Structure 1
């Protein structure tokens, strides 16, 4: 211990001697204030959405499927307006006036024809267009209703009991029953399916948003915002919803294939869209009847492939974007 004190004293004496040899004006100098330098110290070029897309673009599978879905969407809506395309509802006859029934795929009819002589290529693209329209409409409606109800349910304490009772009543009614009843009561159409799916489809989204809001509602920064008099609308939009972007995007992406699957199910039990409106559900239901004939199975394979590509792509893209939108994965 004595040796350590001697070494410390020697170091202090050496430092004092070095300062004594310096002029007074070199010991300390005033640092001038530089406003630009001060701004640089507090500046960050971080952008949430830029970082989200940077992380998402690193997932090559998701990006490839996103490009594929973009091409499918573009072609599905442009296909009727392209030259050389046939009508999806017209019945085609041969030179003798007979219907061109169950013609296998060839150079003239790329996907062949169905049992009444309609072009399967045009019907597959028309059915994809109809099913995607239903899927996007249902997903958007569920997101708007689910987010709105979920935020009100979780943030405003006085509404908790009311929304809980509404949820308990509607959630105990099977969605299949509602879909079947609406298909019986209303005329089968695209709007009927969308309304029937949206009646209870928002419940899961609302419950999930409510649970997440309850977790983060009383955190310190939200309590501080309320103490400072920040309006509830601003707290919800600035403090709460940005925290839930990843899960909202995931559920919206999954709602699209779920809606298409419901449409296929209703058609399977005979309560879907009429045959005059091509959809993937109608096409798969028609092809299912022909599965026993090996020569006619192409009428099931083509719409089934289209349905599989759309649903799997949205599932993978939704999961990848949800992971990318999580700030924890940002650099």
Structure 2
């Protein structure tokens, strides 16, 4: 027994007293216990980039947008509205096939098709982004109030029914007749009804989730309606909202092409993809002139398909259900 007691005493003498000092409580250190470096948008981006097709199309769209903006400032670029005269014959360079001088050829009055396509792409993309932005802002705002604030349900429903029952084509035709044909007129006409589908879609989604437990708890705690909508409801709908916005851009471009096709679009003096397609459509029966329809059709197809694939892929990537 004495041997064991001496051994214990020796061990006690060798132990430092610093090991038994009281630790101070630190709030910051305590919070780090539950810390996670998870980022919703980083996770969404990582999930999106795994789809090689969508990621490649995103790069293609960025390149097209950048080139569309920079094209007029690059060297050796021709004017989109100038009529070119042949220096030898002294007449207009009408319907010249693609060549070194005219990369995409010329149209029926001697204008450079390469310059007109990129100028038209700028015009159509401006219309598409403007209408898409308006649809997103107004549609989400009205749809959120429509779905969450019960007192506004009847009023907004009646407004929706009145506007939605008027054919969109009739509204577009009336606006182009009443107002002078221009880019602003096209944007205004498309925005009049563009927000309807977004508002209805957001409203239906919010009705589904507005009475879930966390929203009921927020209301019981006195959380303002604005904060509940912004913090609790809309983040849950990010994926579907982004999909609708992505699809709104090619839809607006398609509407501009349709209006030009029926003769109510932009004037010929303003290049647009709609004007170019309409001009090429008239010449499509002539084999040597089909390039005037093929080139603008390719640009429209690339933009439409790219936004559709990117929108669907991003919607899947942003869906909280797909995040671990």
Report the TM-score when normalising by structure 1. Answer: 0.89
After TM superposition, the structure 1 = structure 2 runs for residues 11-90 of structure 1, keeping only pairs within 5 Å, are 35=26, 38-90=30-82
* Counterpart position of 2:136: 143
Give the C-alpha shift of residue 69 in structure 1: 0.4
| 2:198 aligned to which of 172, 185, 205 | 205
Cα distance in 1 for partners of 2:30, 2:66 equals 50
Structure 2: runs of 5 or more not aligned: 1-7, 9-19
* Counterpart position of 2:11: none
Give the C-alpha shift of residue 329 in structure 1: 1.4
* Counterpart position of 2:183: 190
* Counterpart position of 2:284: 291
Cα distance in 2 for partners of 1:295, 1:162 equals 58
Cα distance in 1 for partners of 2:29, 2:110 equals 76
DSSP-derived class of the 2:37 partner: coil
Give the C-alpha shift of residue 37 in structure 1: 6.3
After TM superposition, the structure 1 = structure 2 runs for residues 60-139 of structure 1, keeping only pairs within 5 Å, are 60-95=52-87, 96-139=89-132
Task: Provide Cα deviations, 1:257-282, integer angstroms capped at 9, x if missing partner.
Answer: 00000000000000000000000000
Give the C-alpha shift of residue 158 in structure 1: 0.7
Cα distance in 1 for partners of 2:151, 2:285 equals 59
Task: Provide Cα deviations, 1:247-301, integer angstroms capped at 9, x if missing partner.
Answer: 1100000000000000000000000000000000000000001011000000000
Task: Provide Cα deviations, 1:16-72, integer angstroms capped at 9, x if missing partner.
Answer: xxxxxxx9xxxxx9x968757643431111111111111111111111001100010
| 1:272 aligned to which of 260, 265, 280 | 265
DSSP-derived class of the 1:208 partner: helix
DSSP-derived class of the 1:202 partner: helix
DSSP-derived class of the 2:58 partner: helix
Cα distance in 1 for partners of 2:44, 2:207 equals 25
| Equivalenced residues, count | 304
Report the TM-score when normalising by structure 2. Answer: 0.91
Cα distance in 2 for partners of 1:328, 1:58 equals 17
Task: Provide Cα deviations, 1:68-103, integer angstroms capped at 9, x if missing partner.
Answer: 000100110111111111000000001132000000
DSSP-derived class of the 1:229 partner: coil
Cα distance in 1 for partners of 2:29, 2:148 equals 42
Runs of 4+ deviating beyond 6 Å: 31-34
Alignment root-mean-square deviation, CA: 1.6
| 1:239 aligned to which of 232, 241, 245 | 232
